[in-house]
């Protein structure tokens, strides 16, 4: 078979397979037909390098481009910026970053100098890699100062962290995470940041759709200086990034994004993101509300099935995520492999007490329910899914046998909800 035919056939196989799976990776989602249209549009192979150039009388962004041909894209990007500012209460938004890491790097580049200190969670406690030396913080030569973490609360220990922060005085304090069950103490950390003259960068990648739907904290209202995110986790846009900030930082942030870190941004992604923002403006509250109901319902079902779901005493979660300690079932790797054999897709994850050397087979499993919610599942399906997982892991039924029931359940949930199409 020719390579091009092979690729087309692999796309078919992927879509047919994942369309028959329960997709529960906490950082993924499905996009609406309108977003798919945007991503496959002519914008996907055009250039729009240029500067932001003030706003018109109606508050729409104007651009000073280096390339001709952008009369329609200028309007698209202006809408993406306008909706980002409105939905997240941002004084300024920039949609140039092509990923969450680039959004974080833009913030670091704008606010710190090579070699400065940055504070964040550790990766086992839930940090994204870009908060640490293996990724964006390391590219900036920054030393990461870890916060004290409360394993029972699954959150930052403010008092313990305060002592560390007053001593270390990082230039940037990163809040937000990739394991993100509960809102972070932004208000309390703001007070510390003011004392040490640090900037707060809130990485909202995982919870952006929940913030849009007003079902999570509002980071700017609570004191963040900058909010960064990817656009494709709970926010159901195409893969991409966004960085938002207080007006006083806008020039530095814009300059860091372009020409600092990106030459041409991905215009088709900006168009898709703008559509996803419009979807969240109209349907976001229902969508985010159902996500949180679903994650709590699945947590309860799995707890009743004998799994160690973290934070039972706190209702398991206030986000799209659940975290399970599966060390008594052989660890996260075996668990995730068995699930994949039954068409349930989730990922192994470190828990705060794991060490980095456990990363190949950590103690935990992370589950996200945002994609299942987007295809219309509710609390009763969460209960059913808890039962399917139990049959494989606790009852030790053959995963392939459970798979046929997974496929049967999935058949009734093929339409994408909370969108205009």
Give the DSSP H/E element, type plus range, for residue 92: strand 92-94
Length reported for the chain = 421
Map the footprint of ligand DSN across residues 265-304, applying CB under 6 A.
none
Does residue 204 touch ligand DSN according to CB under 6 A?
no
List, in sequence order, every beta strand (DSSP E) within 178-294.
199-203, 226-230, 241-245
Nearer to ligand DSN, 239 or 363 (CB): 239
Residues 6+ apart with CB under 8 A from 113: 171
C-beta of residue 421 within 8 angstroms of C-beta of residue 32: yes
Candidates 128, 171, 199, 266; binder of ligand DSN (CB under 6 A) is 128
Nearer to ligand DSN, 189 or 350 (CB): 350
Least CB distance to ligand DSN at residue 201 (A)? 16
Nearer to ligand DSN, 366 or 410 (CB): 366
Least CB distance to ligand DSN at residue 156 (A)? 18
Least CB distance to ligand DSN at residue 371 (A)? 13
Least CB distance to ligand DSN at residue 415 (A)? 26
Least CB distance to ligand DSN at residue 203 (A)? 10
Least CB distance to ligand DSN at residue 177 (A)? 8
How far apart CA 379 and CA 382 sit, in angstroms, is 5
Give the three-state DSSP class for 227: strand
How far apart CA 93 and CA 246 sit, in angstroms, is 9
Cα three-residue angle 350-356-358, rounded to 5 degrees = 65
C-beta of residue 93 within 8 angstroms of C-beta of residue 244: yes
Nearer to ligand DSN, 8 or 134 (CB): 134
Nearer to ligand DSN, 52 or 350 (CB): 350
Nearer to ligand DSN, 23 or 27 (CB): 27
Nearer to ligand DSN, 193 or 322 (CB): 322
C-beta of residue 25 within 8 angstroms of C-beta of residue 206: no
Cα 201 to Cα 111, 155, 227, 410: the distances in Å are: 10, 17, 6, 38
Nearer to ligand DSN, 101 or 158 (CB): 101
How far apart CA 259 and CA 321 sit, in angstroms, is 36
Residues 6+ apart with CB under 8 A from 63: 48, 50, 51, 52, 53, 70, 74, 77, 78
Please give the span between the terminal C-alpha atoms of the chain, in angstroms, as a whole number.
Answer: 36
Using CB under 6 A, count the residues that bind ligand DSN.
4
Does residue 178 touch ligand DSN according to CB under 6 A?
yes
30-43: burial string, b at 16+ Cβ within 10 Å, e else = bbbebbbebbeeeb
Candidates 21, 22, 27, 90; binder of ligand DSN (CB under 6 A) is 27
Least CB distance to ligand DSN at residue 359 (A)? 12
Least CB distance to ligand DSN at residue 48 (A)? 25
Least CB distance to ligand DSN at residue 130 (A)? 8
* Residues 88-117, mask of contacts with ligand DSN (x by CB under 6 A): ------------x-----------------
C-beta of residue 118 within 8 angstroms of C-beta of residue 172: yes
Nearer to ligand DSN, 50 or 124 (CB): 124
The residues that touch ligand DSN, with contacts defined as CB under 6 A, are 27, 100, 128, 178
């Amino acid at each position: 078979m020719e390579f091009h035919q092979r690729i087309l056939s692999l796309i078919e196989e992927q879509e047919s397979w994942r369309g028959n799976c329960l997709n529960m990776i906490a950082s993924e989602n499905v996009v609406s037909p309108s977003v798919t249209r945007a991503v496959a549009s002519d914008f996907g192979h055009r250039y729009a390098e240029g500067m932001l150039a003030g706003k018109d009388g109606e508050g729409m962004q104007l651009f000073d481009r280096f390339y001709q041909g952008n009369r329609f894209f200028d309007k698209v990007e202006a809408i993406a910026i306008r909706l980002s500012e409105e939905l997240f209460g941002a004084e300024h938004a920039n949609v140039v970053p092509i990923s969450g890491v680039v959004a974080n790097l833009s913030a670091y580049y704008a606010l710190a100098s090579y070699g400065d200190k940055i504070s964040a969670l550790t990766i086992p406690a839930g940090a994204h890699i870009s908060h640490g030396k293996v990724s964006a913080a390391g590219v900036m030569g920054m030393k990461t100062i870890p916060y004290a973490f409360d394993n029972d609360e699954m959150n930052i220990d403010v008092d313990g962290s305060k002592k560390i922060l007053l001593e270390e005085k990082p230039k940037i304090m990163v809040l937000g995470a990739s394991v993100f069950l509960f809102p972070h103490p932004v208000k309390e950390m703001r007070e510390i940041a003011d004392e040490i003259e640090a900037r707060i960068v809130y990485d909202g990648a995982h919870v952006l759709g929940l913030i849009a739907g007003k079902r999570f904290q509002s980071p700017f209202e609570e004191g963040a200086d900058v909010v960064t995110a990817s656009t494709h986790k709970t926010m159901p846009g195409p893969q991409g990034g966004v960085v938002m900030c207080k007006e006083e930082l806008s020039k530095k942030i814009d300059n860091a994004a372009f020409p600092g870190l990106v030459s041409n941004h991905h215009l088709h992604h900006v168009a898709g993101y703008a559509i996803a923002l419009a979807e969240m403006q109209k349907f976001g509250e229902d969508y985010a509300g159902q996500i949180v109901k679903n994650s709590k319902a699945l947590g309860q079902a799995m707890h009743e099935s004998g799994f160690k779901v973290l934070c039972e005493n706190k209702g398991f979660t206030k986000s799209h995520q659940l975290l399970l300690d599966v060390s008594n079932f052989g660890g996260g790797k075996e668990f995730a492999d068995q699930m994949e054999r039954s068409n349930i897709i989730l990922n192994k994850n470190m828990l705060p007490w794991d060490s980095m050397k456990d990363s190949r087979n950590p103690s935990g499993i992370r589950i996200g329910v945002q994609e299942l919610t987007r295809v219309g599942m509710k609390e009763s399906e969460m209960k059913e899914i808890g039962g399917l997982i139990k049959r494989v892991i606790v009852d030790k039924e053959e995963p392939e046998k459970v798979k046929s029931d997974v496929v049967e359940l999935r058949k009734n949930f093929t339409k994408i909800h909370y969108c205009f199409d």
